Amino acid sequence: MVDLTILTELLISSKFIDNPSLISAFKEIEAIETTFEDVYFPSSFAPKLVERFPSLTHIELQVVSFNNCASIIDIFLSHLKNLSYLKIDYFEDTSLDDLKNVVKHFP
Protein backbone atom coordinates (compact mmCIF):
# COMPACT_ATOMS: atom_id res chain seq x y z
CA MET A 1 0.00 0.00 0.00
CA VAL A 2 1.46 3.36 -1.00
CA ASP A 3 -1.68 5.54 -1.23
CA LEU A 4 -3.88 6.43 1.73
CA THR A 5 -7.25 8.21 1.65
CA ILE A 6 -8.43 8.89 5.17
CA LEU A 7 -10.77 11.07 7.20
CA THR A 8 -8.83 13.93 8.75
CA GLU A 9 -10.36 13.06 12.11
CA LEU A 10 -8.90 9.54 11.95
CA LEU A 11 -5.50 10.66 10.65
CA ILE A 12 -4.94 13.04 13.56
CA SER A 13 -6.29 10.58 16.12
CA SER A 14 -3.60 9.40 18.52
CA LYS A 15 -5.11 5.88 18.37
CA PHE A 16 -4.21 5.79 14.69
CA ILE A 17 -1.11 7.94 14.28
CA ASP A 18 0.63 6.61 17.41
CA ASN A 19 -0.31 2.96 16.86
CA PRO A 20 3.00 1.04 17.12
CA SER A 21 1.82 -1.70 14.79
CA LEU A 22 1.19 0.81 11.97
CA ILE A 23 4.31 2.97 12.20
CA SER A 24 6.42 0.77 9.89
CA ALA A 25 3.62 0.79 7.29
CA PHE A 26 3.36 4.59 7.50
CA LYS A 27 6.96 4.93 6.31
CA GLU A 28 6.00 3.27 2.99
CA ILE A 29 3.07 5.60 2.23
CA GLU A 30 3.79 7.98 -0.65
CA ALA A 31 0.41 9.71 -1.05
CA ILE A 32 -2.11 10.93 1.50
CA GLU A 33 -5.46 12.46 0.73
CA THR A 34 -7.58 13.54 3.65
CA THR A 35 -11.33 13.70 3.37
CA PHE A 36 -13.35 16.33 5.11
CA GLU A 37 -16.00 15.65 7.71
CA ASP A 38 -16.18 18.77 9.93
CA VAL A 39 -12.55 18.32 11.05
CA TYR A 40 -9.77 20.26 9.37
CA PHE A 41 -6.06 19.44 9.31
CA PRO A 42 -4.44 21.45 12.13
CA SER A 43 -1.15 23.18 11.35
CA SER A 44 0.22 21.91 14.67
CA PHE A 45 -0.06 18.36 13.30
CA ALA A 46 2.27 18.94 10.32
CA PRO A 47 5.48 17.93 12.19
CA LYS A 48 3.87 14.65 13.31
CA LEU A 49 2.74 13.90 9.76
CA VAL A 50 6.27 14.47 8.46
CA GLU A 51 7.70 12.26 11.20
CA ARG A 52 5.29 9.38 10.58
CA PHE A 53 5.18 9.59 6.77
CA PRO A 54 8.69 10.55 5.59
CA SER A 55 8.19 9.07 2.09
CA LEU A 56 5.33 11.35 1.04
CA THR A 57 5.42 12.65 -2.51
CA HIS A 58 1.75 13.65 -2.78
CA ILE A 59 -0.44 15.35 -0.15
CA GLU A 60 -4.01 16.66 -0.34
CA LEU A 61 -5.66 18.15 2.75
CA GLN A 62 -8.12 20.74 4.01
CA VAL A 63 -7.39 23.48 6.53
CA VAL A 64 -9.69 25.94 8.22
CA SER A 65 -7.92 29.10 7.07
CA PHE A 66 -5.41 30.34 4.54
CA ASN A 67 -3.17 31.56 7.37
CA ASN A 68 -2.61 27.94 8.44
CA CYS A 69 -1.21 27.13 5.00
CA ALA A 70 2.06 29.04 5.37
CA SER A 71 3.36 27.10 8.35
CA ILE A 72 2.21 23.77 6.91
CA ILE A 73 3.88 24.48 3.55
CA ASP A 74 7.09 25.51 5.30
CA ILE A 75 7.23 22.30 7.34
CA PHE A 76 6.44 20.07 4.35
CA LEU A 77 8.98 21.74 2.04
CA SER A 78 11.67 21.69 4.72
CA HIS A 79 11.29 18.03 5.67
CA LEU A 80 9.76 16.04 2.82
CA LYS A 81 12.55 15.82 0.28
CA ASN A 82 10.51 13.85 -2.27
CA LEU A 83 7.35 15.96 -2.11
CA SER A 84 6.25 16.81 -5.65
CA TYR A 85 2.52 17.55 -5.24
CA LEU A 86 0.76 19.49 -2.48
CA LYS A 87 -2.86 20.57 -2.58
CA ILE A 88 -4.30 22.48 0.37
CA ASP A 89 -7.92 23.59 0.36
CA TYR A 90 -9.06 26.21 2.83
CA PHE A 91 -12.53 27.39 3.73
CA GLU A 92 -12.10 30.88 5.16
CA ASP A 93 -12.42 34.15 3.29
CA THR A 94 -8.96 35.68 2.97
CA SER A 95 -8.10 39.22 1.96
CA LEU A 96 -5.62 39.96 -0.82
CA ASP A 97 -3.29 41.57 1.77
CA ASP A 98 -3.16 38.30 3.72
CA LEU A 99 -2.23 36.46 0.53
CA LYS A 100 0.58 38.93 -0.24
CA ASN A 101 2.02 38.45 3.26
CA VAL A 102 2.11 34.68 2.92
CA VAL A 103 3.62 34.76 -0.59
CA LYS A 104 6.49 36.92 0.73
CA HIS A 105 7.65 33.90 2.78
CA PHE A 106 7.97 31.71 -0.33
CA PRO A 107 10.14 33.27 -3.06
Q: Select from 75, 70, 19, 9 the least CA-distant residue to 46.
A: 75
Task: Report the alpha-carbon distance of residue 89 to residue 19 in Å, rounded.
Answer: 27
At 1 the pLDDT is 63
pLDDT tens figures, 30-78: 999 998 777 889 999 999 999 999 999 999 998 887 777 888 999 999 9
Cut 0.75: pTM above it: yes
pLDDT tens figures, 97-107: 554 454 444 44
